[in-house]
């Protein structure tokens, strides 16, 4: 840190969060080096098996706004989704809006497109250098010293930096170095479900095969399917299913029977041949949830994005939360200037509760989406929630819109839901008692003479 303000920042991982973080640090005038394990995605053909599109909502947008990329992403490359469309087994459709009050949308954006745009935006800064095919293999966190494996140097090359940012995803290599530090807590949970991606092509006349104003959901108890639109008028369909059940589908006949039973309306959309080819040409991916703390070591190493808090995807918030990390780090840089030891300490302290809250909310949704969406009591609760939201818009903000459309901390959203649950529970109990008392009174006045008669006899 020669002049106290200009840092040499190394960012590990050129995924969505790493490339955005590089933009933020470059914008502040620091010297940024971005190290990515894979080749430049802008020059390599598409690889299957990675999610194709993601939902962008308020938190992700706020971060993109700060590096002046929001409008470009939303206007030119985002497909607005007003609500969800639930497909039942018998083919009937039911839609509901995301935001009953202000009709706000979320956006479906291509992962690859977004990553390319962020890399290109980062590269425009003269103070940025991107290294592809650089795999972090080890690091000395206190010294900011890193070893990378490259095609030219399989034995490893060394780079140093004042600040090392780990944005290398759920299976982070930098985090592996954190594990050796005393007082570093870590836990990971694989859920029973894995996912596999399929594709719905455009119709014969080149249109979207489903209504593109919605995210489409097929909830089926222990299976679930989700479809999101792409700019080329295709749909990416993600099938979530217990990994051991994927293994039971070995032959095309079994697969088609399975779809015929659970998702009959999706077969003509995907097409039988395509369904069989796509399904058997990829293997399902597992889903992992990761929590750790603290997110930093000393004044030179910090974890952001999935490396710090990988979550199951059932809230559409993983990327949004990672983008919010970048924004918080940027705000703390403003607040505490060059004092990295304070910046990182504050980052860990402030981010922990919120990151854990969204990991928990996502895991809770994993359970909820499978079972509850079909339960009447849950649907009633949703209706009540929305009514109160319309009546008392500033007082009663239901959980879903608070997560998706506000920048309130995730922990606040979770707490907010807790007191609302209590209020609703109380309301239900009170209503129940009132109804019981009314019933008794009616009975008394209608049949009271009969009871008296019995008592007399």
Q: What's the rounded Cα separation, in Å, for the pair 82 and 219? A: 19
442: burial class by Cβ within 10 Å (0-12, 13-18, 19+)?
exposed
Please tell me whether residue 449 adopts helix, strand or coil conformation.
helix
Q: Which of residues 191-220 bind ligand FAD (CB under 6 A)?
A: 195
Q: Is the peptide bond before 262 cis (omega within 30 degrees of 0)?
A: no
Q: What's the rounded Cα separation, in Å, for the pair 302 and 348? A: 9
Residue with nearest beta carbon to ligand FAD: 15
- Helix (H) or strand (E) holding 84, with range, is strand 83-87
Q: What's the rounded Cα separation, in Å, for the pair 164 and 179? A: 16
Is residue 84 part of the contact set for ligand EGU (CB under 6 A)?
yes
Cα–Cα distances in Å, from 113 out to 169, 212, 219, 332, 440?
18, 19, 29, 29, 65
Tally of residues, the chain: 457
- Burial pattern 251-290, b for ≥16 Cβ within 10 A else e, equals eeeebbebbeebbebbeebbeeeebbebbeeeebeebebb
Is residue 97 part of the contact set for ligand EGU (CB under 6 A)?
no
Rule CB under 6 A: choose which of 98, 132, 263, 323 binds ligand EGU.
98
Rule CB under 6 A: choose which of 294, 316, 322, 398 binds ligand EGU.
316
Sketch the per residue contact string, 198 through 227, with ligand EGU: x for CB under 6 A, - otherwise.
Answer: -----------------x-x--------x-
Residue 282 DSSP class: S
Please tell me whether residue 11 adopts helix, strand or coil conformation.
strand
> Which of 270, 271, 224 is CA-nearest to residue 374?
224
Structure tokens at 184: 């570093």
Judged by CB under 6 A, the stretch of 281-289, 291-299, 308-316, 436-444 that binds ligand EGU is 308-316
Q: What's the rounded Cα separation, in Å, for the pair 75 and 153? A: 42
Q: Which of residues 267-306 bind ligand FAD (CB under 6 A)?
A: 305-306
Residue with nearest beta carbon to ligand EGU: 316
CB-wise, 22 or 85, nearer to ligand EGU?
Answer: 85
User: Shortest Cβ distance from residue 215 to ligand FAD (Å)?
Assistant: 9
Rule CB under 6 A: choose which of 6, 27, 28, 51 binds ligand FAD.
51
User: Shortest Cβ distance from residue 212 to ligand FAD (Å)?
Assistant: 16
Judged by CB under 6 A, the stretch of 138-146, 312-320, 336-344, 378-386 that binds ligand EGU is 312-320
CB-wise, 33 or 306, nearer to ligand FAD?
Answer: 306
Q: What's the rounded Cα separation, in Å, for the pair 332 and 307? A: 20
Is residue 404 part of the contact set for ligand EGU (CB under 6 A)?
yes
Judged by CB under 6 A, the stretch of 115-123, 262-270, 311-319, 436-444 that binds ligand EGU is 311-319
365 binds, among ligand FAD, ligand EGU, none (CB under 5 to 8 A by kind): ligand EGU
- Specify whether the CB–CB gap between 183 and 189 falls below 8 A: no
369 binds, among ligand EGU, ligand FAD, none (CB under 5 to 8 A by kind): ligand EGU
Is residue 314 part of the contact set for ligand EGU (CB under 6 A)?
yes
- C-alpha count within 13 angstroms, C-beta hemisphere, residue 322: 31
CB-wise, 235 or 347, nearer to ligand EGU?
Answer: 235
Sketch the per residue contact string, 169 through 188, with ligand FAD: x for CB under 6 A, - otherwise.
Answer: x---x---------------
Please tell me whether residue 181 adopts helix, strand or coil conformation.
coil
User: Shortest Cβ distance from residue 236 to ligand EGU (Å)?
Assistant: 7
Is residue 313 part of the contact set for ligand EGU (CB under 6 A)?
yes
- The residues binding ligand FAD (CB under 6 A) are 12-18, 35-38, 51, 54-55, 135-136, 167-169, 173, 195, 238, 305-307, 313, 316-320, 322
- The residues binding ligand EGU (CB under 6 A) are 51, 55, 84, 98, 106, 215, 217, 226, 228, 238, 313-316, 365, 369, 400, 404
């Amino acid at each position: 840190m020669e002049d106290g303000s200009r840092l040499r920042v190394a960012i590990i991982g050129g995924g969505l969060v790493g490339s955005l973080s590089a933009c933020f640090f470059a914008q502040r005038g620091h010297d940024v080096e971005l190290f990515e394990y894979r080749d430049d995605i802008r020059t390599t053909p598409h690889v299957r098996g990675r999610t194709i599109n993601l939902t962008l909502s308020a938190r992700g947008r706020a971060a993109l706004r700060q590096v002046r990329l929001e409008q470009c992403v939303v206007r030119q490359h985002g497909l607005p989704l007003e609500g969800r469309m639930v497909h039942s087994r018998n083919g009937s459709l039911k839609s509901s809006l995301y935001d009953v009050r202000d009709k706000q949308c979320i956006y479906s954006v291509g992962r690859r497109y977004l990553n390319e745009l962020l890399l290109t935006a980062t590269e425009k800064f003269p103070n940025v250098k991107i290294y592809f095919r650089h795999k972090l293999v080890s690091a000395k966190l206190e010294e900011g010293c890193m070893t990378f494996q490259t095609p030219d140097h399989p034995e490893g090359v060394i780079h140093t930096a004042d600040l090392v940012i780990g944005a290398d995803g759920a299976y982070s290599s930098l985090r592996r170095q954190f594990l050796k530090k005393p007082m570093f807590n870590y836990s990971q949970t694989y859920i029973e479900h894995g996912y596999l991606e399929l594709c719905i092509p455009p119709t014969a006349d080149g249109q979207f095969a489903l209504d593109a104003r919605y995210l489409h959901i097929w909830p089926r108890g222990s299976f679930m399917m989700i479809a999101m639109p792409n700019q080329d008028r295709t749909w990416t369909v993600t099938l979530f299913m217990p990994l051991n059940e994927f293994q039971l589908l070995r032959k095309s006949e079994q697969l088609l029977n399975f779809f015929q039973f659970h998702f009959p309306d999706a077969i003509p959309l995907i097409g039988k041949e395509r369904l069989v080819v796509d399904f058997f040409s990829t293997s399902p991916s597992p889903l992992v949830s990761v929590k750790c703390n603290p997110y930093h070591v000393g004044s030179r190493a910090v974890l952001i994005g999935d490396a710090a808090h990988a979550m199951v995807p059932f809230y559409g918030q993983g990327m949004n939360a990672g983008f919010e990390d970048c924004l918080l780090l940027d705000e703390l840089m403003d607040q505490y200037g060059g004092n990295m030891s304070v910046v990182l300490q504050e980052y860990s302290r402030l981010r922990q509760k919120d990151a854990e809250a969204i990991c928990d909310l996502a895991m809770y949704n994993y359970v909820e989406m499978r079972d509850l969406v079909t339960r009447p009591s849950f649907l009633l609760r949703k209706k009540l929630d929305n009514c109160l939201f319309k009546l008392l818009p500033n007082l009663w903000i239901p959980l879903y819109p608070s997560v998706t459309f506000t920048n309130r901390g995730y922990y606040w959203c979770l707490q907010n839901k807790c007191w609302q649950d209590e209020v609703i529970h109380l309301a239900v109990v009170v209503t129940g008692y009132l109804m019981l008392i009314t019933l008794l009174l009616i009975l008394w006045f209608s049949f009271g003479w009969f009871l008296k008669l019995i008592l007399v006899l």
